Amino acid sequence: MVNTLAPEPTGRTEHGARPAVPGTGGRTRRRRRQSVVAYLFLAPTLLFFAVFLVLPLGFALLLSMSRWTGFDLGGIDPVGPDNFTALFAAGSTFLTPILTNTLLFALGTVALALAGSLLVATCIERLRFQGLWRTLYFLPIVTTVVAVGNVWKYMYEPGGLVNGVLNGLGAGSVAFLADPGTALPSVVVVQAWASLGSAILVLTAGLKAVPESYYEAAALDGAGPVTVFFRITLPLLRPSLLFVCITQFLTGLQSFALIIVMTKGGPGDATDVAALEMYRQAFSYGDWGTASAAAFVLFLVVLAVTLTQLWIFRRKGEDV
Amino acid sequence: MTRRRFPWLPYLVVVAGAVLTVVPFLDMVMTSFKGPGEAGTLPYRFLPKAFDLSNYRAAIDQLDLPVLFRNSVVATAVITGSVLLTSSLAGYALAKLRFPGRDFVFRLVLATMMFPPFLFFIPRFLILVHWPLAGGNDLLGRGGAGLTVSIVALAVPFLVNGFGIFLMRQFMVAIPDEVLEAARIDGAGEFAVWWRIVVPQTKPVVVTLGLLTFVDAWNEYIWALLVSTANPDVMTLPVGIQLLQDHVDPARTMPVVMAGLVLSVLPVLLLFLLLQKHYIRGVMLSGLK
């Protein structure tokens, strides 16, 4: 071993801090022992990653290029890229309406949640009992999607709360979830409603980081509230806004539990989204190949959208 | 700030928004007390005519609530316990131990957070179904239902959480090395250092991560739906209640569904209200959800 032949650094003997292990051999041994211990500590995690992350990923890739009905593992029939081409073939519903719905759903929830949380978060900053307000807005987040979906589904019904209010105001009833024209926007509202609380929290954290002196300087210069908002608050809030934007967009592109609960993709395919389609192909029709291919396409869309968002904000000079 | 022209405007916005947030919950509670034929009829009435408790009785009877409750509790407990343990162990190794491959493992942990969960639904389900020598399967994973026969199947995909490891590691990096070194010189092994010194110092982040994990696990729907499709015995509360809503005439049973929902939401809501300071800080810390 080369290390043991190396001369002892003088500083060490002077301090006398090291115990009586001659040379650096003890150190290497300790290093080695620490490595073993470290991997012992990591063993459950790495085992999990291997079995439930790496293996599934390979399996999904294999399935996406096979035809398989889901029974005998020996019956996996490799077909190459057929599943992918079928998704985009003429007459396939995958591009329209399914992927279109997915993007509209995500865009709609991001726009609503962003606008709503920005409005509420800046307003809460000027009120007392801030904690109470934030807690109230947070309630939907700790609630199961089954509860949120069912309560809103019921509220949208002809005899439900929303139509009750509309009728009370003298307006006619709207068949929110039963009409293909209003079904998707109606679910979008619910998704945005449910995610408002966490967006408010992130923006609040961003608002608190804006130095008070900026506002004082603006006040001295006689800037009005609108100018202050657009010239100071909004630019300084950009990292938080980007964070909300990206995470909400990701959630929006992937979500389907709310849709399963509220509309099951209907009426017709008005609210059918990619993750729901993937789920149905696999677990209702037993077409695991198509389902896995759809999953990968959705994954690529998610990746592309996220990278684009990062790129746009980077170009504007933000460190994210 | 000098903006006193409409001092009531922020109040109006925040209160209106808060009403919009809370009213659906109140509607859920009110509906759960409505008598037969009272819900879903025109004109809409917010308050029930009389507070009828029979819906709760019906929900408990129709749902086999004790079993659903047990399944939800077991799955949530297993997930929370496992995430806390594995995150703490792995976080310690990544923050405080030196070993070859550390950077690689850390990057792997970060990468796991980027993959969307839906990508894994299908293959994970298939792996559990075809798990060798479990639930009647042979060595090649054929013939039986695999691990889907057990409650643990509900928890399996959530046992390790990349974000949890990341959170723990970030917190543990701040613990001074001298403290750990002193314990090691006193003859403590790494396990003792972790358990006696690191774990007690990470209590705040343990509470935060525990709460986040608990709420997510309790509310999990899609995976629980898949597993209980294969084996109805392991159905959880959200799945059971949704099933009730799927099968029966909505106008008549809506109050029963709402009663079931109130019962399923209540434990988490109470926990949240009790520990909301920690929870909200946790969400701010994670920036997630």
Structure-token pair, residue A228: 């202050």
Structure-token pair, residue B266: 């209540």
pLDDT (average), residues A20-44:
78
Q: Is B40 on the interface with A (CB under 8 A)?
A: yes
Structure-token pair, residue B63: 């749902």
Asked if A290 and A274 touch (Cβ cutoff 8 Å), the reply is no
The lowest-confidence range among A291-305, B14-28, B141-155, B167-181 is B141-155
Q: Is B190 on the interface with A (CB under 8 A)?
A: yes
CA–CA separation, A24 and A5 (whole Å): 9
Whole-number pLDDT of residue B132: 79
Q: Is the ipTM of this complex over 0.90?
A: no
Confidence of residue B4 (pLDDT cuts 50, 70, 90): low
Structure-token pair, residue A78: 């490799």
Superfamily of domain A93-315: MetI-like (1.10.3720.10)
Backbone φ, ψ for residue A77 (5° rounding): -110, 105
Whole-number pLDDT of residue A105: 96
For residue A126, the distance in angstroms to the closest alpha carbon of chain B comes to: 7
Whole-number pLDDT of residue A45: 96
Residue ranges per structural domain of chain A: 27-82, 93-315
Q: CA triplet A226, A229, A233: central angle to 5 degrees?
A: 170
Backbone φ, ψ for residue A169 (5° rounding): -85, 0
Selected residue of A46, A119, A143 to mutate for chain B interface (largest B Cβ count, 10 A): A143
From chain B, the residues in CB contact with A243 under 8 A are 287
Whole-number pLDDT of residue A306: 84
Size of interface A-B (CB pairs under 8 A): 287
Chain A residue nearest residue B94, CA to CA: A38
CA–CA separation, A313 and A304 (whole Å): 14
Q: Is the pLDDT of residue A34 over 70?
A: yes
Instruction: Count CB neighbours of B161 within 10 A.
Output: 25
For residue B115, the distance in angstroms to the closest alpha carbon of chain A comes to: 8
- The three-state secondary structure class of A137 is helix
CA–CA separation, B181 and A103 (whole Å): 53
Q: Which of residues 147-166 of B touch A (CB under 8 A)?
A: 156-157, 159-160, 165
Chain B residue nearest residue A156, CA to CA: B40
**pLDDT tens digits, residue range A51-71?**
999 999 998 899 899 888 766
Average pLDDT across chain B, whole number: 86
Residue B43 preceded by cis peptide, ω within 30? yes
pLDDT (average), residues B45-56:
84
Task: Of B153, B169, B152, B173, give the one whose Cα is nearest residue B161.
Answer: B169
Q: Do B289 and A51 touch (CB under 8 A)?
A: no
DSSP characters for B169-197? HHHHHTS-HHHHHHHHHTT--HHHIIIII
From chain A, the residues in CB contact with B199 under 8 A are none
pLDDT (average), residues A38-56:
94
Selected residue of B3, B6, B12, B21 to mutate for chain A interface (largest A Cβ count, 10 A): B21
pLDDT (average), residues B11-40:
89
Q: Is the pLDDT of residue A20 over 50?
A: no
Percent with pLDDT over 90 in chain A = 35
Average pLDDT across chain A, whole number: 84
Whole-number pLDDT of residue A70: 67
Whole-number pLDDT of residue B204: 86
Chain A residue nearest residue B216, CA to CA: A142
CA–CA separation, B36 and B55 (whole Å): 9
Confidence of residue A293 (pLDDT cuts 50, 70, 90): very high
Helix (H) or strand (E) holding B218: helix B203-219
From chain B, the residues in CB contact with A140 under 8 A are 21
Q: Do B18 and A59 touch (CB under 8 A)?
A: no
Q: Is B286 on the interface with A (CB under 8 A)?
A: no
Helix locations, chain A, DSSP H: 2-5, 10-15, 25-49, 55-64, 82-87, 100-124, 130-138, 145-155, 161-168, 180-208, 212-220, 225-228, 234-236, 238-254, 257-262, 274-283, 288-315
Highest mean predicted confidence (pLDDT) among B5-19, B97-111, B128-142: B97-111
Whole-number pLDDT of residue B250: 59
Whole-number pLDDT of residue A65: 92
Q: Is the pLDDT of residue A201 over 50?
A: yes
pLDDT (average), residues B240-260:
78
* pTM flag (> 0.90): no
Whole-number pLDDT of residue B8: 83
CA–CA separation, A302 and A294 (whole Å): 12
Whole-number pLDDT of residue A5: 39
Q: Is A126 on the interface with B (CB under 8 A)?
A: yes
From chain B, the residues in CB contact with A134 under 8 A are 280
CA–CA separation, A228 and A230 (whole Å): 6
Whole-number pLDDT of residue B1: 44
DSSP characters for A70-130? SS-GGG-EE-TTHHHHHHTSTT-TIIIIIIHHHHHHHHHHHHHHHHHHHHHHHHHTTSS-H
For residue B255, the distance in angstroms to the closest alpha carbon of chain A comes to: 10
Structure-token pair, residue B223: 């995976």
Q: Is the pLDDT of residue B2 over 80?
A: no
Q: Is the pLDDT of residue A14 over 50?
A: no
Residue A38 has its nearest CB partner, among B22, B44, B93, at B93
**Which residues, including other chains, have CB under 8 Å from residue B7's CB and lie 6 or more apart?**
none
Task: Of A98, A66, A88, give the one whose Cα is nearest residue A292.
Answer: A66
Whole-number pLDDT of residue B246: 67
Structure-token pair, residue A142: 């700790």
Q: Do A142 and B272 touch (CB under 8 A)?
A: yes
From chain A, the residues in CB contact with B81 under 8 A are none
Whole-number pLDDT of residue B247: 63
Whole-number pLDDT of residue A32: 83
**pLDDT tens digits, residue range B133-153?**
777 777 776 777 778 778 889
For residue A82, the distance in angstroms to the closest alpha carbon of chain B comes to: 19
**pLDDT tens digits, residue range A216-232?**
888 888 888 788 888 88
Confidence of residue A320 (pLDDT cuts 50, 70, 90): very low
Whole-number pLDDT of residue B286: 65
